[in-house]
Amino acid sequence: MMPTIEIKDLVKTFGATRALDGLDLSVAEGEAHGFLGPNGAGKSTTIRILLGLYRADSGTARLLGGDPWRDATSLHRRIAYMPGDVTLWPNLTGGEVIDLLGRLRGGLDARRRARLIERFELDPTKKGRTYSKGNRQKVALVAALASDADLLILDEPTSGLDPLMEQVFRGCIREERDRGRTVLLSSHILGEVEALCDRVTIVRKGRTIESGTLDELRHLTRTTVEAEVTRTPDLDGLAHVVQAHGRRVRLEVDSAHLQPALERLTAAGVRSLISRPPTLEELFLRHYGDDERDA
């Protein structure tokens, strides 16, 4: 089956800046895909190319079987987009903006609109400029979610929402996923991506550095093991010892070394053992860390 989004070796430069430098991204139909990366990594540029707002210098981008630049208008009827920086027309009310954007996309479901406004506790009678950042985002979210689009593209949708609204948002996205819609979620909130996404792509400096299911990514990286031992274990070359306080040790072990490392720990006399997979945050920080070392 053709992926909903298929990007290969995408390059986009702005003057001397190389915003995208061979980026790859593949999103299958019906999946929720997390799109991660530090600020300036090229996430929003990629999304703008997918929306046909920017034209790629080289590489290929396919969206819902079409060309995002050439077929922009017809593709957009099947996409709901929420920009990262939501700006509303100052003299239009939130309700008017929701209706307008929905109609321009080819119609919106009045019942869903009403339900979403209620769930997000949005006042649709306020004028654009009087909304706070979080409320502006709610307007854009309701506009995007009330549509009947096949693909949702959300660029940092919850950066201004409070924790309660964040929960409402997660509930909505789960429902969309269950209805078979595809979601591309660019986010900085890793817990959110972990909770919602089947697969993730991590980008840095305009390139894709990791892509896969969370399980696959975890497999690629180290597991954290904390143990209380009776003797100091010999772990040379097998694990990275993060902390060692007397008989308590904390290690980070590559998946490939997990078996021998545990054997040596056992040999040292294990009294207690906690092992947990890396969080997305740890995955992410590792790449951030690389970023800083490069700098």
Partner 1 sequence: MSGTRELVRLALRRDRVFLPGWLAFLAGAVVLTGSSYSSLYATHGSRREVVEGLGSTPATLALYGRIYSDSVGGLTAWRVLGIAVALAGLMSFLVVVRHTRADEESGRTELLGAGAVDRRAPLAAALIVAVGAGVALGVLVAAGLIAIGLPVAGSLAVGAAFLATGAMFAAVGALAAQVAVFGRSANAIAGAVLGAAYLVRAIGDAGPHRLSWLSPLGWCQQLRPYAGERWWLLALAAALVVPLVAAAFVLLDRRDLGAGIVAPRPGPPAAAPSLRSPLALAWRLQRGPLAVWVASFAIVGVALGSLANDIGSVIGDSRAVRDALAKIGGQHGLADAYLATSMSAFGLIAAVYAVQAILRLRAEETGGHAEALLATGVSRTRWTLSHAAIAAAGTLAILAAAGLSAGGAHALQTSNATQLGRVLAAALVQAPAAWILGAVGLALFGLAPRLTAAAWALIALCLLLGQLGPVLDLGRALLDASPFTHVPKLPGGAFTAAPASLTAVAAAFGAAGVAALRRRDLG
Binding mask of the shown chain, residues 129 to 148, with x at each position contacting partner 1 by CB under 8 A: xx---------x--------
Pick from 59, 66, 95, 260 the residue near partner 1 by CB under 8 A. 95
Residue 6 is encoded by which pair of tokens?
């298929």
Rounded to whole angstroms, the Cα distance separating 22 from 232 reads 47
Owner of token pair 């321009």: 104
**Which residues between 151 and 190 bind partner 1 (CB under 8 A)?**
153
Rounded to whole angstroms, the Cα distance separating 122 from 116 reads 8
Cα-flanking dihedrals φ and ψ of residue 275, to 5°?
Answer: -130, 135
Region binding partner 1 by CB under 8 A among candidate stretches 87-95, 178-186, 224-232, 237-245: 87-95
Inter-CA distances, 6 with 17, 40, 44, 207, Å: 24, 21, 16, 15
Inter-CA distances, 12 with 48, 72, 84, 127, 278, Å: 11, 18, 19, 37, 33
Pick from 58, 74, 232, 259 the residue near partner 1 by CB under 8 A. 74
Q: How many residues bind partner 1 (CB under 8 A)?
A: 43
The verdict on 218 binding partner 1 (CB under 8 A) reads: no
The verdict on 54 binding partner 1 (CB under 8 A) reads: yes
Region binding partner 1 by CB under 8 A among candidate stretches 45-53, 184-192, 194-202, 207-215: 45-53
Pick the closer one to partner 1 by CB: 130 or 255: 130
Question: What minimum distance in Å lies between the beta carbon of 61 and partner 1?
Answer: 14
The verdict on 101 binding partner 1 (CB under 8 A) reads: yes
Residue 213 CB contacts under 8 Å (≥ 6 apart), including other chains? 198, 199, 200
Q: Which residues of the shown chain bind partner 1 in the complex (CB under 8 A)?
A: 48, 51-55, 72-74, 76-77, 79, 81, 83, 85-93, 95-101, 103-106, 123-127, 129-130, 140, 153
